[in-house]
Amino acid sequence: MLEHSLFVRLGRFFFLRDRRFRRVFLRASFRFFSFLIVSFVLTGFLSQIGDFYYPFQPQPAIAQVSVDNQAGGSFTDAAGNPGAVTSNTTTIATAGSAGLTIIKTADRAAVEPGDVVVYRLLVRNTSTRPISPITLEDRLPLGVRYVENSFTAAPLRIRSSRINGRTFTLEFGNATLNPGDSFTVAYAALITPDAVRGNGRNVAQASAPGVISTATFRLTIRPGILADCGTIVGRVFVDKNFDGEQQSGEPGVPNAVVFMDDGNRIVTDVDGLFSIANVISGNRVGTLDLSSLPGYTLAPNLYRLSDNSQSRLVRLEPGGLARMNFAVTPAFGEGQEQ
């Protein structure tokens, strides 16, 4: 962030009207950037000096060499003669490009609650000037907690660290980062269950006087053991002893179709097995599509009345596993009406 200051001397008359002032302002020539007036300060009529500033951000991607700036003002004297003054020209060297770059990575892309993730920050001086002092600021995602005393930095050494909630600030004292040099900071963070509610995105910022650079990194946060989804496994097989369970000698039926209550369609494999991951927990119902297995139909179960049904109801716990077996037997009497 730079501040330009524009000094306007108003001559004998300390009479300044807003309108003229605006004219003064508008005649200032701003090149290369759209200006943004944040505020202006008029130090006082008696001082006859108006002092106002506007901030701007250098545009790091543009390979410019310098930013020239000049302001001008006009006035009308007591005799009614117009006059004009121009300021000196200020020139800001852009030092090649932005001074600092920062890259943030982690040792994994996806985490579950309970995991420890190691973040690594790489700060590089890409300018042609030494940079000092450097401050690093990092804001961790929701539910990700810094592991104490895990900061390591090389080759620069951390002089002070402040942790404020999810934000910490590292300072490196008077250490200087020479052009082209870089240093790394690594630290560990614990994924707490709260992380599931957040977006896993954090922002690190390296700053030095006159330069600032940010980097973001996003962790994919999986619910892990806190998932409320479960898994359903099952099989479709030819039942020989009518107990609804598959024993040896009871082959699986390939290409049988099972429909879930949410419309999912699952096809059994060569061995008659199927599985469904990430099933929302609760009472789930699956049903065998009999038209998918011409020649077979549901087998009677001589022992469990509840299995004498085309559908299976399972109560799936969050993160749990439920079984949905369909016993079939060679069909007869298909397609009869009444």
Partner 1 sequence: MKFAVGMVTGAAIAGLFPGLVAAQTSPETLPAVRIVVNSPLDGPIQPDGALTLREAIAIANDTLALDDLSVPEQAQIEPLAAGEASTIVFNLPPEETTIYLTAVLPDLAAPGLVVDGTTQPGYGATRPDLPEIPVPVVSLTPAPGREVFRGFTVSGPGVTVRGFSLYGFWSRDRATKTTPPADIFIASAPPPADSSPDAPPIEFFNLEDPEIAPQQVVIEQNWLGVKPDGTTPAQRSAFGVSIFNSVGAQVRNNLIQNHEGSGVITGYRATGLALVGNAIIGNGVAGIPDAVRLEGDVTEATILNNLICANDGSGIFLFKPEGGTLIQGNDIRFNGRRFERAAVYVMGAGHQILANDIGYQPGPGVAVAAAAPSDRTLIRDNRFTQLQGLSIDLVTQNNASIQDFQRGDGPNPPRNSRQRRRDTANGAINAPSFDRYVFDRGGDTVRLVGKADPGSEVDLYRVVEDAGVYSPLAEPMMTVPTAADGTFEAVWDDPAGGWVSAIATNPEYGTSEPSPVIQILGTDGTSPDRPSPAPYLATCLADAEPEAPAPPRAVTPDPIRLRIPRNIHFALDRSDISPESAAILDQIAAALLDYPSLVVELHGHTDPRASVAYNQALSERRAIAARDYLVRRGVAPERLRIVPLGESQRRSQGNSRLDFARDRRVEFIFTDTQGLNILFEDLETDLQLE
> Which residues 118-147 are close enough to bind partner 1 by CB under 8 A?
none
Residue with tokens 């004219």: 23
Helix (H) or strand (E) holding 184: strand 182-191
Provide the minimum distance between the beta carbon of 336 and partner 1 in the complex, in angstroms, as a whole number.
7
Binding status of residue 274 toward partner 1 by CB under 8 A = no
Find the binding residues for partner 1 in span 290-319 (CB under 8 A): 291, 294-305, 308-310
Q: How far is the CB of 306 from partner 1 (least distance, A)?
A: 10
The DSSP secondary-structure symbol of 300 reads: P
Q: Does 56 bind partner 1 (CB under 8 A)?
A: no
Position 240 contacts partner 1 (CB under 8 A):
yes
Number of residues that bind partner 1 (CB under 8 A): 36
Residue 139: CB minimum distance to partner 1, A: 52
Q: Judged by CB under 8 A, does residue 269 bind partner 1? A: yes
Q: Does 264 bind partner 1 (CB under 8 A)?
A: no
3-class SS at 291?
helix
Among positions 133, 242, 258, 263, the unique one binding partner 1 when judged by CB under 8 A: 242
Q: DSSP characters for 209-259?
A: TTEEEEEEEE-EE--GGG--EEEEEEEEEE-SSSSSS--TT--B-TT-EEE
Q: How far apart are CA 259 and CA 265, in angstroms?
A: 5
Interaction of residue 332 with partner 1, rule CB under 8 A? yes
Exposed (0-12), middle (13-18) or buried (19+): which is 174, by Cβ within 10 Å?
A: exposed
Q: Which stretch binds partner 1 (CB under 8 A): 54-62, 109-117, 131-139, 329-337?
A: 329-337
Which DSSP helix (H) or strand (E) runs through 51? strand 49-56
What are the residues whose beta carbons fall under 8 Å from the beta carbon of 220, sequence distance 6 or more?
109, 110, 111, 200
CB of 262 to partner 1, least distance (A): 18
- Backbone φ/ψ region at 65: left (φ over 0), alpha (ψ -120 to 50), beta: alpha
**Distance set, CA 71 to CA 5, 39, 41, 114 (Å):** 10, 17, 16, 59
Which residue number, 7 or 303, has a Cβ lying nearer to partner 1? 303
Query: Considering the complex, what minimum distance in angstroms separates the CB of residue 298 from partner 1?
Result: 4
Residue 207 tokens, joined: 């700053």
Separation between Cα atoms, residue 282 and residue 275, nearest integer Å:
17
Name which position in 251, 280, 285, 313 contacts partner 1 (CB under 8 A): 251
Closer to partner 1 by Cβ: residue 276 or 298: 298
Considering only 7-15, 109-117, 212-220, 242-250, which stretch makes contact with partner 1 by CB under 8 A?
Answer: 242-250
**Contacts of partner 1 in 203-232 (CB under 8 A):** none
- Smallest distance from the beta carbon of 291 to partner 1, in angstroms? 6
Residue 172 near residue 134 (C-beta atoms within 8 A): yes
When asked if residue 336 is in the footprint of partner 1 (CB under 8 A), the reply is yes
- Single-letter code of the amino acid located at 89: T
> What secondary structure letter does DSSP report for 225?
G
- Least separation in angstroms between residue 297's CB and partner 1 is 5
- Amino acid at the residue 310: Q
Distance CA 78, CA 327 (A): 107
User: Among residues 200 and 252, whose Cβ is nearest to partner 1?
Assistant: 252
- Find out whether the peptide bond into 330 is cis, omega within 30 degrees of 0: no
From the CB of 248, what's the least distance to partner 1, in Å? 8
Residues that bind partner 1 (CB under 8 A): 238, 240-243, 249, 251, 254-255, 269-270, 291, 294-305, 308-310, 329-337
